[in-house]
Amino acid sequence: MQIVAFWILLLVFLGAFAAQVARRVQLIAAAPGTIALDQLGSRTSRFLLDVVLQRRTIRERPLTGLMHALVFWGFVAFGGYTLTEFLHGLGIVDLTETGWFHAYRIALTPFAIGVLAGILFLLVRRAVVRPVGLGTKVSLESVVIALFIATLMITFLLTFRLEEASMAGRANWWVHAVVILAFMALIPASKHLHLVLSPITVFLKSPELGNLPNLDFEKEQVGLETVKDLGSKSALDAFTCVECGRCQVNCPAWGAGKELNPKTIVLQTQAALLEGQRDRKLGEVYSEQVLWQCTTCGACENQCPVGIEHLPILIGSRRGLVSNGDAPDYLGAMYNNLERRSNIWGLGYDQRTKFIQSAALEIFDATKHDVLVWLGCAGSFDADFQKSLRSLFSILRAKAIKFGVLSKERCNGDPAKRTGNEYMYQELANGNIEDLKAAAPKKILTSCPHCVKTIGNDYRKFGYDVEIVHSSVFVEELLRSAKAPAERQVVTYHDPCYLGRYAGTVDEPRALLERFGADVKEPERNRDNPYCCGAGGGLLFADKEEEPGSRISDVRFKQLQATGASTVVTACPFCSIMLKGAQASAGAETQFVDLMTFVNGKLTKQA
Amino acid sequence: MILVIAEQRDGKLNRATWETIAGAQQLAAQTGAPITVLVPGANSAGVAGELAAAQVKEIVTVEHAALEPYTPDGFTAALQDAIGSLSPAQVLLPHTYQTRDFAPKLAARLDRALITDVTAAKAAGGETAFVRPMFQGKLTADVVPQGPGPHFVTFQIGAYRADQAARGQSPAPVRALEVKADAAAIREKPEAPFQQARQAVDLSQAERIVSVGRGIKEQANIAVAQQLAEALHAEIAASRPICDAGWLPMERQVGSSGQTVAPKLYLALGISGAIQHLVGMKGANTVVAINKDADAPIFEIADYGIVGDLFEIVPAIIEAVKK
């Protein structure tokens, strides 16, 4: 009798689960395929770290993350128990009286206590403490599910107290079983679908942060215009979101009071897919204004514990807008500069030539030079950043490094790519690749993190593979034997997003600073999760007053000021421009110095 | 005969017309051809009177229902008829948005050559070659028009200087020309012209700008810069920190996040010259920088640089200007 009842219940709930999951799988399958399975090694290692060891869950929120890990590990540990009990309950096979099952049950006890402790902690956090990232409403369903999980653990622990065959024992068994079934039926329509999907999503997440495949113009690809253009990985992401809000609280735009919230983007995607709004314009789904607020700093994507990629949606939608001529005016001006002068400022290349002459630079010749120094838009035209490059040149010359520069450069294309002007990006990239192939450097050295990312990473998609290093990495290695000066100076260091987060270069700049007499006071948001300066994604040129909230650069400058250090060291020309602007507007006395100028200053002092 | 087609709207002349007249005079100097200026559209009397000051043979006004409001169909029909009766050898136009709209259609209707966006004209073996940019300005081409006249040429804005158009001893005669055009055949039904929300201050048109940076130190010192601006009949502008501090209104900010300006004279007082400011004023003809810091990037692009205390230098300049 009980077996029949259990069969019926199982089929009903399993059917409810399967129907809901099938709907979502269909939506994912109907989306254009963007799922790739390259680089299996790094995918596997990330799976182990982020799923099995719960790295990203724990890293940012250690206590909460650990509590979540206890629940997760408990769930995995209970898999065999649930299966055995279900097989028994369905009358298929009874293994519950075997010796190993007894041992297994005993081994599960600490897990059960762990899950219970973890879920009660998470329940209090969600229902009582209410951190901002979780949204403004208490999610009733999350409370129900937390209570379900607690019930499962309590009913399991009670099995040690109750005779299985007794009335109470049977009731306890049934409560446990029904709660599992109800839980299963609740999962697909809730954020708890991440239980099923997140291991898959984490594995399928591109090993490269902010991975944006090139558009193929031969196939008339123009970027994402409507909901049906969203790729299958984005659809999978939308159903995987666990709504933890890590993307939200780490987003610099959100932090500065703008409308962009990466979590909202993912949930809007989910709603649009479920509601079948296939032909709705993405500029409407997310709002165009919101799409242009992203600095492409990558914090959302990098902090996400369940493998969601936000940048393909944000930049993909920008591509769709640009293709339809819907870019903001300030970008129109920048695109004009790129088109006519191949640099973001719209300045004439005679200025770059003048700099090359005044800094006595040689034109690169692979037979004579060890490295090619890539100047970039800032290095070619920004007199302020050129001071930093002169410092770099002086370090290189002191160490007898032979280097040269290209006689001409175009912008690497980063501002075009990140704002969705793919056509212009490809034009710039192909031109540069042609010149670089002709020059054939073995190694490129640059002081611009955006050039590192674009030339080193994005140019690979055109089949051009070259080693490009940031000056901090190159100089750190070059000056290993330098002696530290006696006097120490307190500084703070601002990690550029494209260096700390994208390239993972966090130790070299600090090692250099320490070596040359700096005591680094870390600001809030540092290393591989810095708070953006506000320049990325074309926003260097935006800075409009009509936007809500404050300037991202002002927010970051305050964070740097709060360290108490009177000197801020930067390692990116665009961070420097933004933060100096914020400093000037704040009327603060804070000094800014580029890493290379700092190092060279100490070197020349010693000599 | 060289025919210049003027551009006016509601009796207000587009200044680029003077540039085209200057270009026409240069061509006429080589060929000796007389110049006629055609003023299309209603309320042209004032404009015609203004243009009559130019050293040209005559001014011809053309008023017709097909010309008001502007439509490419209407302009093509009316000008086709006017050109038919005037039979010029060359038709010159300023390369404005309106010209870009109707000139290709007009040239195609008459099946005549059209050379656009011309920056200069030069003699090439007995013929006249017109210089125009190609490939986004990366190359320039010398183009000689072929086939029967009239040849159509549009001059890039700024290719000739309006103030170099020669003025006549006495005003040129003005006459009205009757044209035939079928206003009913116009396919375009234009709505009222779109008016962009005008900024209260349009620095982009200013001829002289006195711009203030952080070196001004205090709000009270803005007055010094203002006196200089008044003495020079210049607009006052500023870099971002000054406007952020509220010392000058936001609409006076020059730079990548403010206005882009191209004055004849840009006087930078205490402006360090961060690149995002420089890109907003790179079009300035002459840049004069006053800054205490000799290493300030502004000196990289300044035509005249004074390293020193602006509070000493500016009063001296005001003094000198007033003399």
Give the model's pLDDT for residue B74: 95
Judged by CB atoms closer than 8 Å, whether chains meet at A584 and B214 is answered as yes
Report the phi/psi class of residue B43: left, alpha or beta, with left for phi > 0 and alpha for psi in -120 to 50.
left
Judged by CB atoms closer than 8 Å, whether chains meet at A577 and B260 is answered as no
Structure tokens at A131: 């951190």
**Residue B37's closest CA among B12, B15, B62?**
B62
Question: Residue B196 — very low, low, confident or very high, per pLDDT cuts 50/70/90?
Answer: low
Nearest Cα residue in chain B from A379: B275
- Residue A512 and residue A473 in one domain: no
**Which of B245, B250, B274 minimises the CB distance to A577?**
B274
Is residue B75 one of the residues assigned to a domain?
yes
In sequence order, what DSSP letters do the residues of B16-30 get, joined into one string?
Answer: HHHHHHHHHHHHHHH
Burial class (CB in 10 A: 0-12, 13-18, 19+), A347: buried
- Residue A18 and residue A71 in one domain: yes
Q: How many pairs of residues across A and B have Cβ atoms under 8 Å apart? A: 56
CA distances to A30, B54, B58, B123, B166 from B169, rounded to whole Å, are: 79, 9, 13, 28, 10
Which residues in chain A are closer than 8 Å to B250, comparing Cβ atoms? 545
Q: What CA–CA distance (Å, rounded) separates A50 from B61?
A: 79
Burial class (CB in 10 A: 0-12, 13-18, 19+), A409: buried
Structure tokens at A313: 């949606």
**Residue A364's closest CA among A410, A409, A405?**
A405
Is residue A4 within 8 Å of A201, Cβ to Cβ? no
- Residue A374 and residue A522 in one domain: no
Q: Choose the final residue of a domain: A329, A350, A367.
A: A329
**Which of B257, B282, B300 minimises the CB distance to A544?**
B257
Burial class (CB in 10 A: 0-12, 13-18, 19+), A86: middle
| Gap from B39 CA to chain A (nearest CA, Å) | 33
**With the CA atoms of A317, A323, A329 and A333 taken in that order, what torsion angle do they form, in degrees rounded to the nearest 10?**
120
Is residue A182 one of the residues assigned to a domain?
yes
- Residue B137 and residue B268 in one domain: no
| B54 pLDDT above the threshold of 70 | yes
Judged by CB atoms closer than 8 Å, whether chains meet at A585 and B256 is answered as no
Parallel, antiparallel, or unpaired: how do β-strands A371-374 and A403-404 relate? Answer: parallel
Q: Is B279 on the interface with A (CB under 8 A)?
A: yes
Compute the C-alpha angle A348/A354/A359, nearest 5°: 140
**Phi (first) and psi of residue B289, to 5 degrees:** -115, 135
Residue entry with tokens 């709000």: B219
Helices A383-398 & A573-586, crossing angle to 10 degrees?
Answer: 130
Query: How many of the other CB atoms lie within 10 Å of CB of B135?
Result: 8
Question: Residue B202 — very low, low, confident or very high, per pLDDT cuts 50/70/90?
Answer: confident
Q: What CA–CA distance (Å, rounded) separates B90 from B69?
A: 26
| Gap from A31 CA to chain B (nearest CA, Å) | 39
Q: Choose the final residue of a domain: A186, A207, A228.
A: A186
Best residue in B138, B244, B277, B293 to probe A by mutation, most A CBs within 10 Å? B244
Is residue A526 within 8 Å of A556, Cβ to Cβ? no
**Phi (first) and psi of residue B194, to 5 degrees:** -70, 125
**CATH code of A320's domain:** 1.10.1060
Judged by CB atoms closer than 8 Å, whether chains meet at B256 and A541 is answered as yes
Structure tokens at A241: 């979101």
pLDDT by residue (tens digit) across B56-89? 999 999 999 999 899 999 999 999 999 999 999 9
Q: What CA–CA distance (Å, rounded) separates A299 from A251?
A: 6
Judged by CB atoms closer than 8 Å, whether chains meet at B256 and A543 is answered as yes
- Residue B171 and residue B213 in one domain: no
pLDDT by residue (tens digit) across A338-368? 999 999 998 888 889 999 999 999 999 999 9
Nearest Cα residue in chain B from A578: B276
Nearest Cα residue in chain A from B134: A340
CB neighbours of B323 closer than 8 A, spacing ≥ 6? none
- Residue B79 and residue B220 in one domain: no
Give the model's pLDDT for residue B199: 59
Judged by CB atoms closer than 8 Å, whether chains meet at B282 and A584 is answered as no
pLDDT by residue (tens digit) across A479-490? 998 887 888 999
CB neighbours of A423 closer than 8 A, spacing ≥ 6? A215, A217
Parallel, antiparallel, or unpaired: how do β-strands B120-124 and B265-269 relate? Answer: unpaired
Is residue A420 one of the residues assigned to a domain?
yes
Q: What CA–CA distance (Å, rounded) separates A428 from A338?
A: 8
- Residue B147 and residue B272 in one domain: no
Amino acid at B145: P
The stretches of A309-348 forming alpha helices (DSSP H) are 311-323, 329-341
Query: How many of the other CB atoms lie within 10 Å of CB of B167?
Result: 10
**Phi (first) and psi of residue B171, to 5 degrees:** -60, 140
CB neighbours of B34 closer than 8 A, spacing ≥ 6? B1, B2, B28, B56, B57
Residue entry with tokens 């514990």: A305
- Residue B15 and residue B161 in one domain: yes
Is residue A206 one of the residues assigned to a domain?
no
Best residue in B204, B247, B279, B301 to probe A by mutation, most A CBs within 10 Å? B279
- Residue A353 and residue A317 in one domain: no
Judged by CB atoms closer than 8 Å, whether chains meet at A382 and B257 is answered as no
Is residue B192 one of the residues assigned to a domain?
no
Q: Is B133 on the interface with A (CB under 8 A)?
A: no
Beta pairing partners, A591: A567
Best residue in A330, A382, A411, A541 to probe B by mutation, most B CBs within 10 Å? A382
- Residue B167 and residue B228 in one domain: no
Nearest Cα residue in chain A from B215: A584
Is residue B155 one of the residues assigned to a domain?
yes
**Which of A346, A382, A585 minimises the CB distance to B244?**
A585
Judged by CB atoms closer than 8 Å, whether chains meet at A345 and B245 is answered as no
- Residue A415 and residue A374 in one domain: yes
| B90 pLDDT above the threshold of 90 | yes
Number of domains chain B is built from: 2
Which residues in chain B are closer than 8 Å to A333, comparing Cβ atoms? 260
**Which of A384, A385, A587 minimises the CB distance to B245?**
A587
- Residue A20 and residue A167 in one domain: yes
- Residue B172 and residue B236 in one domain: no
Q: What CA–CA distance (Å, rounded) separates A78 from A63?
A: 23
Is residue B125 within 8 Å of B162, Cβ to Cβ? no
- Residue B91 and residue B208 in one domain: no
Q: What's the Rg (C-alpha) of chain B?
A: 24
Is residue B196 one of the residues assigned to a domain?
no
Judged by CB atoms closer than 8 Å, whether chains meet at A347 and B279 is answered as yes
Which residues in chain A are closer than 8 Å to B261, comparing Cβ atoms? none
Query: How many of the other CB atoms lie within 10 Å of CB of B63?
Result: 19
Is residue A448 within 8 Å of A572, Cβ to Cβ? yes
**Which of A346, A580, A587 minimises the CB distance to B274?**
A580
| Gap from B188 CA to chain A (nearest CA, Å) | 24
Q: Is B247 on the interface with A (CB under 8 A)?
A: no
Residues of chain B with pLDDT > 70, as a percent, come to: 98
Judged by CB atoms closer than 8 Å, whether chains meet at A585 and B240 is answered as yes
Q: Is B144 on the interface with A (CB under 8 A)?
A: no
Judged by CB atoms closer than 8 Å, whether chains meet at B275 and A381 is answered as yes
Is residue B7 one of the residues assigned to a domain?
yes
Q: Which residue positions in chain A have pLDDT lower than 70?
A: 543-546, 607
Give the model's pLDDT for residue B138: 77
Give the model's pLDDT for residue B192: 83
- Residue B102 and residue B238 in one domain: no
Which residues in chain B are closer than 8 Å to A428, comparing Cβ atoms? none
Burial class (CB in 10 A: 0-12, 13-18, 19+), A572: buried
| Structural domain boundaries, residue B68 | 2-185
**CATH code of B35's domain:** 3.40.50.620
Which residues in chain A are closer than 8 Å to B257, comparing Cβ atoms? 330, 541-544
Is residue A209 one of the residues assigned to a domain?
no
Give the model's pLDDT for residue A544: 63
Which residues in chain B are closer than 8 Å to A346, comparing Cβ atoms? 279, 282
Best residue in A340, A572, A585 to probe B by mutation, most B CBs within 10 Å? A585
Q: Is B276 on the interface with A (CB under 8 A)?
A: yes
Q: Choose the final residue of a domain: B154, B185, B216.
A: B185
Q: What CA–CA distance (Å, rounded) separates B105 from B99?
A: 10
Is residue A520 one of the residues assigned to a domain?
yes
Which residues in chain B are closer than 8 Å to A545, comparing Cβ atoms? 250
- Residue B259 and residue B217 in one domain: yes
- Residue B28 and residue B168 in one domain: yes
Structure tokens at B8: 């006016």
Is residue B69 within 8 Å of B40, Cβ to Cβ? no
- CA within 13 Å, CB half, B192: 2
Number of domains chain A is built from: 4
Judged by CB atoms closer than 8 Å, whether chains meet at A346 and B273 is answered as no
Q: Is B31 on the interface with A (CB under 8 A)?
A: no
Is residue B72 within 8 Å of B188, Cβ to Cβ? yes
Judged by CB atoms closer than 8 Å, whether chains meet at A541 and B240 is answered as no
- Residue B207 and residue B142 in one domain: no
Judged by CB atoms closer than 8 Å, whether chains meet at B276 and A544 is answered as no
CA A303 to chain centre: 5
- Residue A117 and residue A158 in one domain: yes
| Gap from B35 CA to chain A (nearest CA, Å) | 35
Is residue A502 one of the residues assigned to a domain?
yes
Is residue A535 within 8 Å of A294, Cβ to Cβ? no
Element (H, E) at B109: helix B97-110
- Residue A384 and residue A307 in one domain: no
**CATH code of A395's domain:** 3.40.50.1860
| Structural domain boundaries, residue A493 | 482-606
